[in-house]
Chains A and B, each alone.
Chain A
């Protein structure tokens, strides 16, 4: 049973608009959450993270929101750019040595 789920396999957004990528988790022990971005034929790269003691973390155009009661996090990209087109993975950990990834969401930003 997947402990981290990204229920939208793909998302298409117009350039300049907001992209919202969602992630749900089931393990209440998870206390740190990360987003990774992956281009084709490359390894994932770290994008942004959030600790469970916060409900929002912002880095430029990227903001991650955490709703602990709903076990839900989301990544907002504003404004979206064509270069943001990639697969986005959310990942969670319980401060231990293992990272659990979601299945990924493919974002397509249309010019």
Chain B
């Protein structure tokens, strides 16, 4: 099993550009989530999904869109990148539908918005 994979590893964007961060898991997990990590702020939840076709907002959803058309994939879209979105982004998944279950994280995508 590859676990949770994220692409790309690193990306530089200009303000106003759009892009999609990819996340995939091969563990048949129902719950998937996106976090951003900023210095001193820990990890903050952006969006999550409890199953295919179901998504919901987390703590910091503004500026991001998600969709969950399959169990395996959970892409995160930045519609118009802003410097405030410079961060490290982590995707995670867990077997059940609850956030308290052990979550498996991907290696992260480092995003720089100029």
Give the B-binding residues of A (Cβ under 8 A): 4, 6, 9, 32, 34, 41-46, 49, 89, 91, 93, 95-104
Contact = CB atoms under 8 A, between A and B. Distances in A.
A62 B99 CA distance: 22
B100 A46 contact: no
Interface of B: 4, 31, 33, 35, 40-45, 48, 50, 56, 58-59, 90, 92, 97-100, 102-108
24 contacts: A6-B42, A34-B100, A34-B102, A42-B107, A42-B108, A43-B4, A44-B43, A49-B100, A91-B43, A93-B98, A93-B99, A95-B98, A96-B99, A97-B50, A97-B98, A98-B45, A98-B58, A99-B33, A99-B99, A99-B103, A100-B45, A101-B35, A101-B44, A104-B42
A46 B39 CA distance: 20
Given A45-B105, A91-B43, A97-B98, 5 more contacts: A34-B100, A44-B43, A46-B102, A49-B100, A99-B100
Nearest to A96: B99
A45 B35 CA distance: 14
7 residue pairs, one from A and one from B, having the closest CB atoms:
A43-B105, A101-B42, A99-B99, A32-B100, A101-B43, A93-B100, A103-B42
